[in-house]
Amino acid sequence: MFERTISLIGKDNYLKIKNANILIIGLGGVGGYALEALIRSGVEKITIVDYDKIDITNLNRQIISTSNNIGNLKTDEWKKRILSINNNVKVKVINEKIGESNINILFEEQYDFIIDACDTMIVKKLLIKYSYEKNINLITVCGMGRKLNPKMVEIIPLSKTSYDPIAKVLRKYVKDERINSKVMCICSKEIPINTDKNIIASMSMVPSTAGILAAHYVINNIIKEQV
């Protein structure tokens, strides 16, 4: 099933992708597209983390959501989808809300890459810290709400970000914790659009682009191509 992939990157690189162990936390608008791209790239060992159920408001941007699975756990639906694409994939499911008290359960095994697509600030901070301490390659995704232009989304060092309040908080955390390593993130250069502050306004184009870029970062680092 991966003949076209192998034709593009070679058998050795495909095997590197196949054997990589990846953790992805957050299976929403960003994480879902990242996960889809990873599985269709040949990843066969993955841990997926989310506690949430599919909601009707997810239909406008989340690839897993349909009118037929509203109310179902995202992790359950994703495991079914993954295995329907490639039944050789070993899927580990963590269906818990991760916080400061239980983040250690994410690190019961060693990962090659972590994609942080979650919304919880303390978790984003601790993922940066733990990844640094355990020498795991991490890509963290900043805010994609209130953005409309996918061409403004980029892979960038956290230290070079602008306009994003999540990135601002994370930059300070990295400085305060004296994390002497370049933290890579996916961020948008677009100035946030003024919307109803009670709703995290979004459409599919920007979160999906961020997810694809997260998968791109992981795959290109596995095969040592230029990101």
**CB of 214 closer than 8 Å to CB of 30:** yes
Q: Where are the domains of the chain?
A: 3-142+204-222
CATH architecture of the domain 3-142+204-222 equals 3-Layer(aba) Sandwich (3.40)
Q: Nearest-CA neighbor of 214 among 44, 85, 87, 43?
A: 43
Q: Nearest-CA neighbor of 139 among 114, 111, 165?
A: 114
Q: Nearest-CA neighbor of 37 among 92, 74, 82?
A: 82
**pTM, to two decimals:** 0.96
Beta strands in 36-127 (DSSP E): 45-49, 90-94, 113-116
Task: For residues 61 and 145, give the distance between their C-alpha atoms in angstroms, rounded to a whole number.
Answer: 11
Residue type, 33: Y
Task: For residues 61 and 76, give the distance between their C-alpha atoms in angstroms, rounded to a whole number.
Answer: 18
Q: What is the DSSP string of 83-132?
A: HHH-TT-EEEEE-S---TTTGGGGGSS--SEEEE----HHHHHHHHHHHH
Residue type, 146: R
| 171: three-class secondary structure by DSSP | helix
| 216: three-class secondary structure by DSSP | helix
Q: Nearest-CA neighbor of 124 among 78, 191, 173?
A: 173
Question: In the structure, how many helices (H) and strands (E) does the chain have?
Answer: 7, 7
Torsion of Cα atoms, 120 then 140 then 59 then 194, to 10°? 80
**CB of 49 closer than 8 Å to CB of 25:** yes
- The one-digit pLDDT tens for each residue of the chain (227 residues) are 999 999 999 999 999 999 999 999 999 999 999 999 999 999 999 999 999 999 999 999 999 999 999 999 999 999 999 999 999 999 999 999 999 999 999 999 999 999 999 999 999 999 999 999 999 999 999 999 999 999 999 999 999 998 899 999 999 999 999 999 999 999 999 999 999 888 889 999 999 999 999 999 999 999 986 44
